Structure 1
Amino acid sequence: MKGMVFTEFIDMVEQRFSPELMDEVIEAAAPPNGGAYTAVGQYDHHELVKMVVELSARTGVAIPDLVRTFGEYLFGRFHQGYPHLFEGMGSAFQMLSSIESIIHPEVRKLYPDARPPHFDIGGDGVNTLEMTYRSDRHFGDLAEGLIRACIEHFDERIALAREDLVDAPGSVIRFVLTRQNA
């Protein structure tokens, strides 16, 4: 997993909780590098999982809630750091539909060794959008947080339903977004 995800997680915890708590989390998780992450480095995603587990134990916030919150935070950071990806995007459906055609190819240009999750996109694209998330890293809650933040960013009335597809290998989740009438 790209180091940028780790550095952003550390920044979020330091901002929302405290630098001291982040130090405790890193010490307890005991990553091989001692918690010294660089944005361009590549790290085992299990290190992030250990830090989330330690953060949950210290805050009492459920792991899925922490990961969704991180996804929401990360969306804001993407918007600040990569504004060109948002140019010409007029709606959440338009942005989310472009994940595999525009956003992930851009990610791979910036970070050739990145392995973003895969999304199968369906629905009519007008009133409904179906996104099937596939990843062997099981960060569906992170994806959900990113999706929720995207909806909020465009200030749209969109209902989000989630279906974990347990019979599928790895982490496969179907997100169904439905426009709500005003």
Structure 2
Amino acid sequence: MKGIIFTEFLELVEQQFGLETLDKVLDLSEDQGIYTSVGSYDHKSLVKLIVNLSKTTDIPADALQEVFGETVFISLLNTLPDNAGILDCTHCFDFVRHVEEYIHVEVKKLYPDANPPKFDFVSETETQLVFDYSSARCMGHVCIGLLKGCAKHFDQQIEIGSQSLNEQGSEVRFVVNLIE
């Protein structure tokens, strides 16, 4: 997992909960908190940080993942190069398709060892997008947050339904409805 995810998470924890909470979470996680945005790290370290933040704040880990996903959307968007084609996207659904069809492909070219999530599109209308998310990292709630951040970016209102397709949570079906 790219280091920008870790650096953004640590920054969010410090901003939302304070340096004392961040230090406690790092101690509980036996993590020094030393990450670079361009480095690659084991996603299990992020999971451990999220679980320990949940224990420290009594906020469910799923809710923390969603907040993180929504918050990190703009930071990730800003890391995309100008030629990434995002200017062609005028709608949240366009962008989600673009992530799978272009951004994930480019990530794999730049970082052959990268393992980004996979989106399999099931159906799409003007007001509904149905897709299956697959990721060994089991971070479907981060994906929900990213979808919320995306909708906010495009000034759209959405409702997100999700259904885990397996016990591990590595496969999730999302139903995203535009609210007019």
Do both share a fold (TM > 0.5)?
yes
> Paired residues, what number?
178
Give ranges in structure 1 of 5+ residues lacking alignment: none
* Partner residue in 2 for 1:153: 153
Q: Secondary structure at the match of 1:126?
A: coil
* Partner residue in 2 for 1:54: 52
CA distance in 2 between counterparts of 1:99 and 1:71 reads 15
Shift of 1:8: 1.2
Shift of 1:51: 0.9
Alignment of 1:102-121 (within 5 A): 102-121=102-121
Give ranges in structure 2 of 5+ residues lacking alignment: none
* Partner residue in 1 for 2:129: 129
Shift of 1:67: 0.6
CA distance in 1 between counterparts of 2:124 and 2:46 reads 36
TM-score by length of 2: 0.89
Alignment of 1:1-182 (within 5 A): 1-31=1-31, 34-82=32-80, 84=82, 85=84, 86-166=86-166, 171-180=170-179, 182=180
Q: Contact 2:148–2:158 (CA<8 Å) still a contact in 1?
A: no
TM-score by length of 1: 0.88
Shift of 1:141: 0.6
Q: Percent identity?
A: 39
Q: Contact 1:93–1:125 (CA<8 Å) still a contact in 2?
A: no
Q: Secondary structure at the match of 1:72?
A: helix
CA distance in 2 between counterparts of 1:103 and 1:126 reads 23
CA 110–21 in structure 1, closer or farther in 2 if over 3 Å, else same? farther
Q: Secondary structure at the match of 2:119?
A: strand
Which runs of at least 4 in structure 1 moved beyond 3 Å after TM superposition?
109-112
Q: Secondary structure at the match of 2:120?
A: strand
Shift of 1:28: 1.2
Q: Secondary structure at the match of 1:98?
A: helix
CA distance in 2 between counterparts of 1:92 and 1:150 reads 6
